[in-house]
Amino acid sequence: MKQSIVTLLSILLCSCANMYVTKSDVATPGGAAVTATDAKDFGSKGVHMITNCGVGAYNPAAIYIRPFCIDTAVFRGDEADSDGEMPIRKALAPVELAQDLKEELERIAPARILKDHERPRVGWLVDGYFTEVDGGSPLARYFFGQFGAGRSFLALHVRVTDVQRGVVVYEFDMAGGSRFQGRFGTLRASGLGKATHFDLRNAAERVYWTLSTNPSRYAARSSPALQQ
């Protein structure tokens, strides 16, 4: 019975539209790099710490975001209303992600998007590059979305640099999309709409969750809980 419940929960989680960290590298104040095993199908095997105490970077004074590179990314699917518009949509995807990241990461520290000529002096710099942006097919999602047809996909690489130390403190790959969402969509998936907008927002939210110590505020209390 327990095995059946676990299997059912696994299926439900796999069908959810979302982004997941698939591989990560960590650097600690000791200065040495820490490498995690490849997560393959989003099932991480953990991080092997080899550095001084293994304490990660936290509490940046500020967070600066540079729009991610997209020039070499595969860009396809339902992204624009015409082929002529596709280059514009591709050029604006990094801008949209940067805006989403600013909204999410300013819950950690004051955040702003850098202009081309600007260079941060304190805090963290968040940048990276897109690997693949696929809007999928709304028509296929409408008829066979629950079986995975027409699903969107987004893959990118994120790098977090401690500006003052000049050290990349976190670096990770992310991937995900609409997965098995059908015609009606959800809070995290578009259904018949433009799926990439949802994927970009989901990616920004996952970056925030990844860099936060306790984003869900688990175990938070408004009053002392110890009892005699």
pLDDT score for 126: 98
Q: Is residue 160 part of a domain?
A: yes
* Among the listed residues 67, 73, 63, 64, the one whose alpha carbon sits nearest the alpha carbon of residue 94: 67
36-40, 70-74, 188-192 — which one is most confidently predicted on average?
70-74
Does residue 16 fall inside a structural domain?
Answer: no
Q: State how many domains the chain has.
A: 1
- 223 pLDDT above the threshold of 50: yes
Per the domain annotation, does 22 fall within a domain? no
Does the pTM of the predicted model rise above 0.85? no
pLDDT, greater one: 191 or 2: 191
CATH number of 71's domain: 3.40.50
pLDDT at residue 8 tops 50:
no
Residues 6+ away with beta carbon under 8 Å from 220:
214
In-domain check, residue 218? no
Q: How large is the average pLDDT for residues 155-172?
A: 96
Domain-embedded: residue 168: yes
Q: d(Cα 62, Cα 67) in Å, to the nearest integer?
A: 16
- Is pLDDT of 10 > 50? no
Residue 46 in any domain: the answer is: no
Structural domain contains residue 123: yes
**Contacts by 39-43 with C-beta closer than 8 Å and gap 24+?**
42/175
Of the pLDDT bands very low, low, confident and very high (cuts 50, 70, 90), residue 153 is very high
Q: Is residue 24 within 8 Å of residue 174, measured between CB atoms?
A: no
37, pLDDT greater than 70: no
Q: Check residue 182 and give its pLDDT.
A: 58
pLDDT score for 40? 44
Alpha-carbon gap, residue 116 to 220, rounded angstroms: 40
Distance CA 17, CA 136 (A): 13
Burial 195-223 (b: 16+ CB within 10 A, else e): bbebbbbbbbbbbbebbeeeeeeeeeeee
Is 68 inside a domain boundary?
yes
Residue 63 burial (CB count, 10 A): 23
CB 150, CB 140: distance < 8 Å: yes
**Closest Cα to residue 31, out of 59, 51, 47, 58?**
51
Structural domain span for residue 99 = 60-211
Task: Inform me whether the pLDDT recorded for 171 exceeds 90.
Answer: yes
Tell how strand 111-113 and strand 63-65 pair up: parallel
